[in-house]
Amino acid sequence: MSTKHLCVGSLALNDTVYADGRTSMADPGGNALYAAVGANIWSNQVGIAAVVGYDWPSEYTATLAQSDINIAGLVQKDEETLRAWTIYEVSGYRRYFSRNTEVVLLTPSPYSSRPLSAEEAARFSEAARRVHLRSSPLPHELPPDLWHIDSIHLSPMRMETMFAWIDFLQDKPHIFVSMDILPYPVDTFDDPGLLKILSRVDAFMPSEVEADSMMPNHNAERFCREIAARGPKIVAVKQGDHGVAIYDRLRDCFHQVLPYPADVDDLTGAGDSFCGGFSIGYCETHDPLQAAFYGTVSASFIIEGFGGLHGLQKTRQHALQRLETLYQINRLSVPQP
């Protein structure tokens, strides 16, 4: 089966601790994995591009290989896989702590009252930067035959890596480009780095936290319009259990989509799987609102279990049933194929 949709980002091993004492260790995760599985729920023409570290369990790769997801874009490196603790508080707030060796060795002790010196903070930041850079693939590392695609989703990566992908995609206008972003504080929406990215992105889809890093205490509609004015024809803000706010610049329409009432087990990867499902939805329907419903369905499946691979068990028939319910929740008629 040919690959038409590529999901780019990282693989990660997630160690989760819930407020009620439940734990789950070394779950298969990473933004590229969640995006690819979210897309695969809707299509059997999905590929994944990510770095596989020496400690990434081979059985996880085997499970991917046995699915419809094309793993030709997995790049093997003799490096640690991204790994982190995800700790849930009673309030629902999540905290993340890197478990990668060189970052752990520089992580300040929570029992120390002495603030980090400027030099210590710089070393910690640089270690985290190196870990993330080597954990993300670059365009030239992928096989050339992977570029016969209709869409590509760029999951959050370091800005240096994002720029490399944007440069590579400049002369490929036929590829629909969607993108999520790490928190990126800016003084103005005309920040050169942000403008460089927005100049090539068709759909810009940050989370609320990421949107707030660019526009503190943001209003979703205003944020979407400000971003769309600088390039993207679609802007979506993922709002967790509040759903998603989405703006269609070509139709000048702003929508608020309510979430599907999933049986939540682990929220990790919800936003990434939304993006994967959205990309398929848009390529199939060319309607941002319908695409948001595709993405919402993908996210609803992912959060009902630990790790990303359980989503491979969901079929398109499962997704269509959930899509119909979601349209009813949002009081819209189900579009006919």
Q: What is the CATH number of the domain that holds 318?
A: 3.40.1190.20
Q: Does a structural domain hold residue 336?
A: no
Q: Which pTM was predicted?
A: 0.94
Question: Given the DSSP bridges, would you call strands 244-248 and 253-257 parallel, antiparallel or unpaired?
Answer: antiparallel
Residue 337 lies in a domain: no
Can you tell me the distance from the alpha carbon of 80 to that of 53, in angstroms, rounded to the nearest whole number?
5
Q: How high is the pLDDT of residue 91? A: 84
pLDDT value of position 29: 95
From CA 320, how far away is CA 181, in angstroms rounded? Answer: 29
Q: How many structural domains are present in the chain?
A: 1
Look up the domain containing 88 and give its range.
5-329
pLDDT at 333: 57
Low-confidence ranges of the chain (pLDDT < 50): 337
Residue 335 lies in a domain: no
Residue 69 tokens read as 């997801």
pLDDT at residue number 202: 98
Q: How many whole angstroms separate alpha carbon 231 and alpha carbon 217?
A: 23
Asked whether residue 266 is domain-assigned, the answer is yes
Residue at 306 is within a domain: yes
Asked whether residue 285 is assigned to any structural domain, the reply reads yes
